[in-house]
A = this chain, B = another copy of it.
Amino acid sequence: MTYAAPIAQANHSKPSLDVNTLVEGIQACYDCAQACIADADADLAEPRIQEMLRCVRLCLDCADVCLATGGMLSRQTAFDPPTARAALQACVQTCTVCGDECEHHAHQGFAHCQTCLEACRRCEQACNTTVLTFLASLPA
């Protein structure tokens, strides 16, 4: 994700929050979306797939919410803080639940779930940081 920072800086609509925070949020969302799509597929290839179904489902949810949130953060024009906050909160919720499920399977030795867990935790933290930045400075 080499391109998020230079495009954000060249945009005449100035970002509503710190650029470094914003860019990390964008990168974390897209990286987590890809990791979740790939992890859902790796789950399908497991011999005991019946035990991975909740992981497949939550990974698909998480990918969808991360892409929506990453798209919203990528736009600076007419940025609407309450709308971004609601999307970020949904992303935190989804990444937390999906990360917990991946952590369960990571402890069982599934390397792809360990990697997806890391992606979910990073995205949860990046979205939480962005929400806390918002909640401290912007109207509800």
Contact = CB atoms under 8 A, between A and B. Distances in A.
Interface in A38-64: 38-39, 41-42, 44-47, 49-50, 53-54, 56-58, 60-61, 64
A108 to B, nearest CB: 13
Contacts of A38: 3-4, 7-8, 11, 74-75
Given A45-B13, A64-B72, A67-B68, A3 B35 contact: yes
A86 B90 contact: yes
A78 B57 contact: yes
Given A34-B26, A67-B67, A116-B3, A41 B87 contact: no
Copies of this subunit: 4
Interface in A84-124: 86-87, 89-90, 93-94, 97, 110-112, 115-116, 118-119
A115 B7 contact: yes
A80 interface: yes
Interface size class of A (residues with CB under 8 A): 35 or more
Nearest to A12: B45
Interface of A: 1-4, 6-8, 10-13, 26, 30-31, 33-35, 37-39, 41-42, 44-47, 49-50, 53-54, 56-58, 60-61, 64-65, 67-68, 70-72, 74-80, 82-83, 86-87, 89-90, 93-94, 97, 110-112, 115-116, 118-119
